Structure 1
């Protein structure tokens, strides 16, 4: 794999870690009655390449698991993540 491919893949991994942290922070804030991260931010992050981080954040932190539109955004984000990874490997392993 080329250096560019590794950088893109690394960026995707880091982004998913950031999204996971957003879910964990929002769960903490919910438990302590603090200012919350807007739902549209969490959903947008999931769809914009952070599907795995959002999915794991929701499941591990037990956060937003009862809201259907969050679950849909997680699976949509996971599909987008999978497509991105396949495209990265497909184009950079030629």
Structure 2
């Protein structure tokens, strides 16, 4: 069961990281962008990938609500991990 947990966590964080990179590339080309609500949802559900994507691509780093969403995501995942490992 732990392998499923870690695989899922890794996968969603890789997707979030990729979405930040894709959105940055589209911003540079003035192309259609990924909506901010999608990126904010990624920050809540995959904070590590989103945080790394924000800083690796220097994307959305000037918007404080992205930092807050990423922090909230870390808190959410810490609480979920505590409950998950406490019950197993």
Length-normalised TM-score, structure 1: 0.84
Q: Does 1:30 align with 2:27?
A: yes
Tell me which of the two structures has the higher relative contact order, counting C-alpha pairs closer than 8 angstroms and 6 or more residues apart. Answer: 1
Q: Which residue of 1 aligns with 2:16?
A: 19
Structure 1 unaligned runs (5+)?
A: none
Report matched runs for 1:1-94 at 5 Å: 4-47=1-44, 49-92=45-88
Cα distance in 2, alignment partners of residues 33 and 42 from structure 1: 18
Are the aligned partners of 1:58 and 1:65 in contact in 2 as well (CA < 8 Å)?
yes
Shift of 1:39: 0.1
Cα distance in 2, alignment partners of residues 70 and 41 from structure 1: 11
Cα distance in 1, alignment partners of residues 83 and 2 from structure 2: 10
- How many residues were matched structurally? 88
User: Superposition RMSD on alpha carbons, in Å?
Assistant: 1.3
Structure 2 unaligned runs (5+)?
A: none
